[in-house]
Structure 1
Amino acid sequence: MEERVKILQEAVKDMPNVKVESFSGLLVDYARSREVRVVIRGLRAITDFEYELQNAQTNAKLSGGELDTIFLTTSLEYAYLSSSSVKEIASFNGDISMCVPDFVAKLVYQKFGFEKERGKVHEQQNRTVNRRN
Structure 2
Amino acid sequence: MDRLLESWARWLSAGRTVELGGGASMLARLIDNKGELNFGSGGGGSYEPRDTLEGRVEILVYEMAKTAPLRADVLRLEYSAGCQRVAVARGWKRYTPGQDQLSHALLLGVSLRTYRTRLAEARGEIAAEFGMSER
TM-score (norm 1): 0.33
Q: Which has the higher contact order (CA 8 A, sep 6+)?
A: 2
Larger relative strand fraction: 1
Larger relative helix fraction: 2
